[in-house]
Structure 1
């Protein structure tokens, strides 16, 4: 179901108002000098155009070659030239202001996105966010660049033309003004409908962009899964939704312009008919009637411009809601607190009664309490879904506990600035993220200092990555492809380890860093990890016994609750599920098949608890 359908289903009313749009412009702060100059030039253009019908009236009423003076000719030519030059400059300046507005708006949104908490992105797809930033900002720019000038000058043109028309003939002017309220009575409700359709179109565009981004970023999964028919059907559905919104928008526009055209034609017929009668009776001159008709066009054309402005403004107002919602979203608290320096001595990290859930009614961790001692290796073991990765997210301060406290030394983590805390952390996950670019770009990513070539190579050497990097044709300048697709899993892991080494972390978080590797790659990566772990506080998530057996402390999590803490030997003696887990792996490693009541029973018990064992360990059984 699309975003707009969700809104409709929920029955959420949408307030229509220009205040959010003006509020957004207030944040952008466009150049008042350029905007004022552009509007002043537009006013000059309008003023020049208002004088032309008066020249025409005088020419028609007293036309003869002898009546054409140099001053009159110069006046007409000057009015046309002034109108052309002022109009051109106005368009350029408004275009410049519009580009400044969209650049500033995109800058504001981008800077905001970088400081929003992870929870914001949990609820939104990246493609939708990109669409909001690129497409919706373009809508706002279009209002300023293409339609604002027409709106302002249109108002001035209408006021000026109506004032002159009352001087020329107040009866004809009164007849003309009868049609304006009728036009407004039709256009106002159509404008409201345009707002709703435009808002739906923007939401659907963002949703479709998110789908496209997701499919294209996982194109290999799509092809290996033979999912082309599904993607084709979903894409077809998205295109049809956009098509339907486009048709609804077209229908509204198809009503707006014919209504204006119909009103204009009726007014012209009435004016020409009634005006012709007044000319015949001698009440007004032929020149006055022609001037009157020219002024009518100077009212009709601005009405169309104002209508276009209102239509585009409705679109911009719809886009504004989402952008303001993003800009007003609560940020991460990055600057508040103490700064942890690089030379700060390590301290213990304590979790005291920590409870957390992504949804309030579904806690993932329940009253978790244990201590991570400085300079030691703490392993976190447990069934899948027990909250191990969530625990890491809390240590990285992606989220705040619902209850309980995380402390560093005697202070809660919130007492330290977010930037200085995360600077202390090195993180290596099961599928360490690699960005499109070169190997060098990925190694130094996020470092706020210059990394020498010698330091870069030393980190690669400790991570056992130097061999394969230097064997590549372009070495450290080799392009790795989107998400590192040109590298093997083991190579990506070693680059991630080298990246962690360059950060010189005080706290190392290893999340299943070797579980997806083959045995040969695992040996190399484990040796690299040993280099990184030396002398550092390390927290390890792992299912393989070899990874956690030698840990200084093992914490066993089951369904978000700590059910055991100790060394391997202590847990083996006191924790039944850990003992079954260890027995199973040891027998598999020694090649002992066991009996139905032995290792097979252990395997089934472990799987029943949700323990994830490596494929090689299961097949060895």
Structure 2
């Protein structure tokens, strides 16, 4: 709960103070109105016309004031709600931006969307609607009780004793609601996850003619969600019903005992009617309180789900790391006996993705990792990028260990292009400018577009560089999309460039022109690539050949082709596939 409201403190105190102030004023107004209604009843019985007219005028003025106060209460509450919603959404956005990428990779997008939309909305309702209402109603009941005690202690004690029994019953009966509500929200989240998958995999569903199967999956999720919603209603409905039934008993008891007191002249008609109006108003509040408290139990489950996300580890603000030209031996990047497994608890031989990998890369070198699918070459790039943590061993850059850096620091001097890249649903230009955080440098922009061969297909697009790429870059071909991603990565002007099958969708001629242009325009850049097409890495300064998670050979293309090497067999088999 504290995590959910952290950052709201100043505004929350201001809005809470104003809401509570108006709540107190409305409560005092309600007490005065109850007292006037008691006098009004007494004047009717005594047929005092002047008193009736005078009190009627006062009642009219007070009701107008009540309407004004309630308007201001609703207005301030709306402002509080808007501010809270915006603050929580910004906090969620900050969490996404600063959360550990390794944690994010394990999360389901649909579940996060559910938490950042539905749970934020429900948490906002709790903080700005439900809690202030509970506080308002509690204030009214306490002040009403004080006035009722002043008028007649015995009658008030009997009434409040019955009310206390009802409140205790409602408290214990509402306990299961929170647990059931949490499960229901999980079911809603599961449905959202599946809906997200269906929307993102429309082509796959069509290819396998799986529409009916997917419909069954979704129907099953919706049935589970429906059952959990019904279960929540079964639990919460009796609480509200009990409140309605029990709400009648204290009032009937008050009327019966009050009439006895009246007949014994232990209380005046004016006092009795004032107590009755106060009790009736407070009972309406108590009945509403039961509904609000049930909502509190339900929405508190949303706070829990939201707090689970707000509590995730985030990266600390960057402490500046100054990179030297290299380690003591001149290397820029090094792996020292690195082992990696996705399941660190399982150390069986076949579970290791990388096995005792060591290498050193100097500044400005062009390095390639090659091998069959699953040999570990892409894993090396993910480790270099800091997306994975070595199970054993150490990674260093310019003498600094990755253990002493957070992810942002690791990525400061890195640019990455992967085979399965992503473009935002914006223009080609804005997607490329992301490499410079949106800042425009015309000369640099022109240079990266030229290097990535963007200009080669600009003439075929009606709006040129301002063309919308569509959702996930769907308006571009595979080759065009990869070139835009390469341009974006080049614009970052990082000292180390990682390419994971980054040119797999390009034809041989375009790829050759792209390599020549990058080499010409970015000669000092250290480039590390993972490639399946071996023909694309022939000019690398050093080629590391991977097999079953180990480096089995290394050297230049010519050196490795000079003998009956594993690389030579691969090249002859899949070199230009």
Q: Distance in 1 between matches of 2:239 and 2:546?
A: 65
Q: Distance in 2 between matches of 1:323 and 1:341?
A: 42
Structure-1-length-normalised TM-score: 0.84
Please say if 1:370 is aligned against 2:346. Answer: no
Q: 2:542 — aligned with what?
A: 553
Classify 1:368/1:333 alpha carbon distance in 2 versus 1 (closer, same or farther; 3 Å).
farther
Answer whether contact 1:116 1:332 (CA < 8 A) is retained. Answer: yes
Q: 1:123 aligns with which of 106, 109, 128?
A: 106
Please say if 1:46 is aligned against 2:31. Answer: no
Q: 1:272 aligns with which of 255, 258, 262?
A: 255
Q: 2:434 — aligned with what?
A: 445
Q: Distance in 2 between matches of 1:340 and 1:230?
A: 54
Classify 1:585/1:105 alpha carbon distance in 2 versus 1 (closer, same or farther; 3 Å).
closer
Q: What are the ranges of 5 or more consecutive residues in structure 2 without an aligned counterpart?
A: none
Q: Distance in 2 between matches of 1:359 and 1:434?
A: 31
| Corresponding residue SS for 1:370 | strand
Q: 1:537 — aligned with what?
A: 526
Q: Distance in 2 between matches of 1:424 and 1:186?
A: 62
Q: 1:524 — aligned with what?
A: 510
Q: 2:136 — aligned with what?
A: 153
Classify 1:248/1:577 alpha carbon distance in 2 versus 1 (closer, same or farther; 3 Å).
same
Please say if 1:410 is aligned against 2:388. Answer: no
Q: Mean alpha-carbon deviation: is it higher for 182-191 or for 107-116?
A: 182-191
Q: Mean alpha-carbon deviation: is it higher for 116-125 or for 446-455?
A: 446-455
Classify 1:410/1:172 alpha carbon distance in 2 versus 1 (closer, same or farther; 3 Å).
closer
CA shift for structure 1 position 76: 2.4
How many equivalent pairs are there? 564
* Residues 563-582 of structure 1 mapped to structure 2, 5 A cutoff: 563-572=552-561, 576-582=565-571
* Residues 254-269 of structure 1 mapped to structure 2, 5 A cutoff: 254-269=237-252
* Residues 386-401 of structure 1 mapped to structure 2, 5 A cutoff: 386-401=375-390
Q: What are the ranges of 5 or more consecutive residues in structure 1 without an aligned counterpart?
A: 1-20, 590-616
RMSD of equivalent CA atoms: 2.7
CA shift for structure 1 position 236: 1.0
Classify 1:107/1:449 alpha carbon distance in 2 versus 1 (closer, same or farther; 3 Å).
closer
Classify 1:236/1:432 alpha carbon distance in 2 versus 1 (closer, same or farther; 3 Å).
same
Q: 1:350 aligns with which of 328, 334, 340?
A: 334
Q: Distance in 2 between matches of 1:50 and 1:576?
A: 95
Answer whether contact 2:499 2:530 (CA < 8 A) is retained. Answer: yes
* Residues 182-201 of structure 1 mapped to structure 2, 5 A cutoff: 182-201=165-184
Answer whether contact 1:153 1:302 (CA < 8 A) is retained. Answer: no
CA shift for structure 1 position 371: 1.3
* Residues 20-419 of structure 1 mapped to structure 2, 5 A cutoff: 21-22=1-2, 24-31=4-11, 32-63=13-44, 64-68=47-51, 72-333=55-316, 335-340=318-323, 348-360=332-344, 361=346, 362-413=351-402, 418-419=407-408
Q: Mean alpha-carbon deviation: is it higher for 162-171 or for 437-446?
A: 162-171
CA shift for structure 1 position 453: 4.3
Q: Distance in 2 between matches of 1:359 and 1:77?
A: 74
Structure-2-length-normalised TM-score: 0.90
Q: Distance in 2 between matches of 1:84 and 1:95?
A: 16
Q: Distance in 1 between matches of 2:149 and 2:94?
A: 54
Q: 1:474 — aligned with what?
A: 463
| Corresponding residue SS for 1:162 | helix
Classify 1:318/1:533 alpha carbon distance in 2 versus 1 (closer, same or farther; 3 Å).
farther
